Amino acid sequence: MALQILLNALALGAAYALLAFGFVLIVNATSAVNFAQGDMVMAGGYVAIAVASIAPMPGIALLPFVLVAMIVVGLLSSLVAYFPLKSRPPVSVFVSTIALGIILQNTVNVLAGAAPRAAPALFGDGQLAMGGASIAIQSIAVIGVAALLIAGQWWLFARTAIGRALRATAQDRVMAEALGIRANRMIALTFGLAAALSGAAGLLLANTFFVSPSDGTNYIIKAYISVTIGGWGSLTGAALGALLVALFEVAYPQIPILIGLTESSTAVTQVVFSQTTGTILLYVAVLIILFVRPQGIFGELAQRRA
């Protein structure tokens, strides 16, 4: 049981981490928040469903389609919602990406309908017997694919020339431009990569948890909570935050079972250990973190230059 919960949490956390990476990459590159980042998860899920409806194939084969389509979506979204506003206060970009999210969400709603849909599993729906417990292949596959994507992301940023240019742009755009880096292209590319990572999370999540057009808001809050816990602007922090959020979400409703309360499952325990109560507690925890330690659990306090 505990192993099953741990694997489920890891799978969910890995998907959240991809989403949170997308969020952090854009914050670092532009110091603006892309509110539509949650909708990118949703869009990725629907790209997978759309492709699979034309040519049925397992989820793992859909991944390249999702990545490419989402890079395009990301580039386009930077063109309509970021570049026209890049010299305005960051709040303008926040508003424009809210608009972008509305457009994405309702376009999908018109095309595919409001009902939740499921994407194909990565390899199959089977279960794996492991020491008495049975474990969903999908969970393991999700963890594996997410790990590969995270590794790929790390390799791109740490080991390639384009990654260095991306990091230079994020650190100091003016300086990067002075050194001959085309900062605007790098920022557009960052939007593309961020959308691709979040879209991949959509593919990974849309089998177990389904996907519906209005999911974006929920996901952007998850990304925000992960990043708040982990420390703004840190990729490692975001990943740790995402894992903590997922662990809490998966494990919290299972607490009565884990501590052996199954038989005496009363109305009270049902309410106390419901998904809703869990979400509320998680959010209260975030508010407390913001109040006590605004730089995040793993973050370092940065003072603003005057």
Partner 1 sequence: MALKLSGMGALAALAIGGLIAWPFVFSSSYDLRVFTLAGIFAINTLGYQFVFGHAGALALTQGTFFGLGAYIAGLTALEFGWTFAETVLLAVAGPVMMAVIIAAPVLRLQSHYFALATLGIGQVVLLVAIQWEPLTGGANGRPGVPGIELFGAPALRGIWLAAFVWGITAIAALIAWQSMRGLVGRAFAVARENDLAALSIGIDIWRLRWIAFLWSAAYAGLAGALYVRTVKVISPEVLEFHIMVAVLTMAVVGGRTHVAGAVIGAFLLVHLPEWFRGLDRYYLIAYGVVLLMAIVVAPNGLVGLAQDWMGRRRRAKPPAIPVVTRRTTRRTDGREPASLQIENISMAFGGVRALNQVSLRIPPGEIFGLIGPNGSGKSTLINCVSGIYAPQNGRIMLGDRDLMRERPHAIAKLGVTRTFQNLNLIDQMTVQDNVAIARFAATKAHFFRDLYDVRSRRLGQARDEAMQVLERSGIAAYAQVECGGLSYGTKRRVEIARALALAPSLMLLDEPAAGLSSAEQRELADWLQDIRTDGMTLVIVEHNMGFLMPLASRMACLDHGVVITEGTPAQLRAHPQVIAAYLGNEAVIA
For residues 9 and 185, is the Cβ–Cβ distance under 8 A? no
Q: Does 75 bind partner 1 (CB under 8 A)?
A: no
Whole-angstrom distance, CA of residue 304 vs CA of residue 27: 16
Regarding 194 and contact with partner 1 (CB under 8 A), the answer is no
Cα distance between residue 34 and residue 32, in whole Å: 7
Window of 134-142, 156-164, 258-266, 290-298 that interacts with partner 1 by CB under 8 A: 290-298
Phi (first) and psi of residue 130, to 5 degrees:
-135, 105
Q: Which residue of 101, 120, 231, 237 would you call a contact of partner 1, by CB under 8 A? A: 101
For partner 1, the closer of residues 23 and 65 by Cβ is 23
Q: How far is the CB of 30 from partner 1 (least distance, A)?
A: 11
Q: Are 252 and 278 contacting, i.e. CB atoms less than 8 angstroms apart? A: yes
Binding flag, residue 79, partner 1 (CB under 8 A): no
Stretch near partner 1 under the rule CB under 8 A, chosen from 8-16, 101-109, 143-151, 244-252: 101-109
Burial class (CB in 10 A: 0-12, 13-18, 19+), 184: middle
Least spacing, CB of residue 111 vs partner 1, in Å: 10
* Binding map of partner 1 across residues 257-276, x = CB under 8 A, - = no contact: -----------------x-x
Which CB sits closer to partner 1, 111 or 179? 111
Among residues 99, 97, 105, the alpha carbon closest in space to that of 35 is found at: 97
- If phi > 0 it is left, if psi is from -120 to 50 it is alpha, else beta; for residue 291 that is alpha
User: Between 207 and 226, how does the x/- string for binding to partner 1 read (CB under 8 A)?
Assistant: ----------xx-xx--xx-
With CB under 8 A as the contact rule, the residue among 85, 145, 244, 245 that binds partner 1 is: 85
- Contact between 80 and partner 1 per CB under 8 A: yes
- Rounded to a whole number of angstroms, the minimum distance from the CB of residue 270 to partner 1 is 11
d(CA 40, CA 46): 10
Chain centroid, CA 4 distance in Å: 22
- The Cα 117–Cα 283 span in angstroms is 27
DSSP state of 273: T
243 scored as a contact of partner 1 (CB under 8 A): no
Distance CA 93, CA 52 (A): 34
Could you say which of 109, 236, 265, 270 contacts partner 1 (CB under 8 A)?
Answer: 109
Q: How far is the CB of 226 from partner 1 (least distance, A)?
A: 11
Tokens 């854009």 correspond to: 26
Q: DSSP code of 134?
A: E
Q: How far is the CB of 162 from partner 1 (least distance, A)?
A: 27
Residue among 187, 260, 177, 221 nearest 20 (CA): 221
Q: Binding residue for partner 1 (CB under 8 A) from 8, 28, 96, 169?
A: 96
Enumerate binding residues for partner 1 (CB under 8 A): 32-33, 80-81, 84-85, 88-92, 94-96, 98-103, 106-107, 109-110, 217-218, 220-221, 224-225, 228, 232, 274, 276, 279-280, 283-284, 286-288, 290-291, 294, 300, 302-303, 305-306
